[in-house]
């Protein structure tokens, strides 16, 4: 009986995580842009038959951006919940730092893209 409830809790955890990803993609314009670009880049990699090592670099950079955009959304929503309409300097700093992390990962992805796709194109 105990194992069944542990399995159910694990499955619920995956459901919550999936729901969070779906909600982020559905409601966040930047995430929609990132997902669209990710699909285009992955299709381009498939079309150009890039080497397996380069595919790994592309997947890593794509998922890094998607992960950080999801975390950024969580931070923004949490700050908005606690601060509301007020503009506290610490709330702004938290939101700006999270957005900065997404920007850094996007820059990394562009650099990886130039490294991987420049020669085949």
Task: Output phi, psi for 86, to 5 deg.
Answer: -70, 150
pLDDT (0 to 100) of residue 2: 61
Give yes or no: 69 in active site.
yes
Catalytic one of 6, 69, 76, 119: 69
Give the residue extent of every domain in the chain: 29-117
Q: Which class is domain 29-117?
A: mainly alpha
pTM of the full structure? 0.86
pLDDT in tens, 41-92: 999 999 999 999 999 999 999 999 999 999 999 999 999 887 767 788 888 9
Angle, helices 29-48 vs 52-83, to 10°: value is: 180
């Amino acid at each position: 009986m105990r194992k069944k409830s542990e399995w159910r809790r694990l499955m619920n955890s995956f459901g919550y995580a999936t729901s969070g990803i779906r909600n982020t993609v559905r409601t966040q314009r930047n995430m929609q842009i990132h997902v669209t670009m990710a699909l285009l880049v992955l299709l381009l990699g498939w079309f150009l038959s890039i080497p397996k090592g380069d595919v790994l670099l592309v997947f890593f950079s794509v998922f890094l951006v998607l992960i950080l955009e999801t975390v950024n959304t969580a931070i923004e929503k949490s700050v908005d919940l606690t601060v509301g309409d007020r503009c506290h300097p610490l709330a702004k700093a938290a939101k700006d730092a999270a957005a900065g992390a997404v920007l850094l990962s996007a820059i990394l992805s562009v650099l990886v893209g130039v490294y991987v796709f420049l020669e085949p194109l």
